[in-house]
Amino acid sequence: MNTDKNNSLYPLLFKPVLKDYIWGGRALADLGRDLPPEGVIAESWEIAAHDDGTTAVSNGIFTNHPLTAVQAELGERLIGTRSAWAAERGKFPLLIKILDANRPLSVQVHPNDEYALAHEGNELGKSEMWVVLHADDDARVILGVKAGTTKAMFKEGIENGRLEPHLHYLPVKTGDHICVPAGSLHAIMGGLLIAEIQQNSNTTYRVYDWNRMGHDGKPRPLHVERALDVINFEQVEPAICPPSPIAEADGVRRALLCRTPYFVTERVEMEAGAVFNGRCDGSTFEIWGTITGEAVVQDERGNEVELTAVAFTLLPAALGNFTVRTTEKTTLLRTYVE
């Protein structure tokens, strides 16, 4: 692919990749996702460059090119100098999803980078975060273990089919966010629609799957031994942390949601008519997404994209100056590498 460098940097939109895991539903159609006529859809991969699913660009000169090809063409101009390690491993750093948890996900854990490299080839570890787009009245998640739980007790609970006493449940509501570092025992329960920002990995170690069958009529595999290797049993009954204010001016209010070694995510609340001025200076890409309302993202060359909730755009690291404008009250997510 040979592109004009003057025209190859602009806000990128993508065609989602849909996943039909057994715990999904039909709610993603309400967000404008084009679902098949029948069956359940669990995940919409919004920005992805993974062997299990890669999104293709839907606007501009890169239309129909997969994100992997765009990264191969632009290199650090796309991902930035802070993500040079990702280029060395042939990876895009992050993966953005929307999840329709119509039924509970499995009780599971994700490894860190060191463990993934040792046991999963060139796969990354998986730290992630969730933003609750919708929650039923009784919605909850599992995060961490109950006080007093040890690895031996947890293993015995798996063997005896009595894991419940060791699982820590958290009630959640629309607008909540949950940070889920690698090693966190967790499960998203039913009645939740969630935006997920994560490392670019699809490695999951299940310890319990509610005794249900997969699409093939057989139990889905469990990964008890590896899960026990990586569960952080010191993560005891964690609470949901409130957003941490960053700045507020001219109708723009920013708050920190999660800071990890792999990404930082902010919530940006903007009043109607507000403008956010930013700059991609070559150090990091930025991903912006609307979770309520709508916004227009424009670069300094006049290229612009409209984001109607829920939608995401990827801003290349070398994009230069950009603005985010709103015509109504809007809440956005902003993610970058620190």
Q: What angle do CA 79, 67, 334 make, to 5 degrees?
A: 50
- Give residue-wise pLDDT tens across range 72-103: 999 999 999 999 988 888 899 999 999 999 99
Judge if the upstream peptide bond of residue 310 is cis by omega within 30 degrees of 0.
Answer: yes
The helix/strand count (H/E) of the chain reads as 6, 25
- Phi first, then psi: give them for residue 19, nearest 5 degrees: -125, 135
Domains of the chain: 14-230 (2.60.120.10), 244-336 (2.60.120.10)
Query: Residue 5: is its pLDDT beyond 90?
Result: no
- Side-chain-side CA neighbours of 58 within 13 Å: the count stands at 15
Would you say the C-alpha torsion 102, 105, 111, 117 has a positive or negative sign?
negative
Task: Enumerate residues 6+ apart whose C-beta is below 8 A from 233.
Answer: 145, 149, 150, 151, 154
Residues with a catalytic annotation lie at: 206
H or E element at residue 119: helix 113-119
Give the pLDDT score at 245: 98
Query: Residue 2: is its pLDDT beyond 60?
Result: no
- Give residue-wise pLDDT tens across range 15-61: 999 999 999 999 999 999 999 999 999 999 999 999 999 999 999 99
Does this model's pTM top 0.75? My answer is: yes
Query: Residue 4: is its pLDDT beyond 70?
Result: no
